[in-house]
Amino acid sequence: MSENKTNNMTTTMEDNQLVITRTLNAPLELVYKVWTEAEHLQRWWGPKGFKINVFKFDLRPGGIFHYNMQTPDGHTMWGKFVYHEIEKQEKIVWINSFSDENGNTVRSPFSSTFPLEIMNTLTFAEQEGKTTITLKGGPINATEEELQFFVGMYESMKQGFTGTFDQLADYLEEVK
């Protein structure tokens, strides 16, 4: 699939995984902090215009980030991360899914063929006071239909993550 570059960000689809690289004008220590502390994560994570409420945040292998997202028109969706690997200021690996208010994994509210679980690997690298993050995410335990649906959502996911990472960049400017 073609490569798209916007806002110091490159987005591609490689081997059925969404791959996003973004260079942020902030030091590694701060970028890692806003990914790993609930009070920061809730200020920028999620689609533009959505309000994030954190219900559980336990950053450790096996720990959970359980949250809901409220749309501007008041609709609520729940999500969760289940952390698998954390290497301070180097890498975070988690499974992301939609959930109910109790933290049970559920189907996406927008499609019954969106994969139940997405494995994400986020890496961090600092150079000259700027931090480059690379997010690789793709379905696990997915049917062929779910996999094809995920790949078909490339443009939508690219747009969504561009907005999310724009919010991250803006938030970093605020807290620097």
Give 98-123 pLDDT, tens digit per residue: 999 999 999 999 999 999 999 999 99
Listed residue (74, 73, 41, 44) closest to 55, CA to CA:
41
- Give pLDDT tens digits for 39-93: 999 999 999 999 999 999 999 999 999 999 999 999 999 999 999 999 999 999 9
* Whole-number average pLDDT of the chain: 95
Q: By the 8 A CB rule, do 11 and 3 touch?
A: yes
Single pTM value for the model: 0.94
Band of residue 2 on the pLDDT scale cut at 50, 70, 90? very low
Is pLDDT of 4 > 60?
A: no
Q: By the 8 A CB rule, do 137 and 17 touch?
A: yes
> What is the pLDDT at residue 6?
55
State the Cα–Cα distance between residues 150 and 14, nearest whole angstrom. Answer: 12
Q: Which residues pair with 127 in a beta bridge?
A: 130
> What is the pLDDT at residue 8?
87
Q: What percent of the chain has pLDDT over 70?
A: 96
Listed residue (172, 169, 171, 176) closest to 7, CA to CA:
169
State the Cα–Cα distance between residues 30 and 35, nearest whole angstrom. Answer: 9
CA–CA distances in Å: residue 134 to residues 45, 75, 112: 16, 30, 28
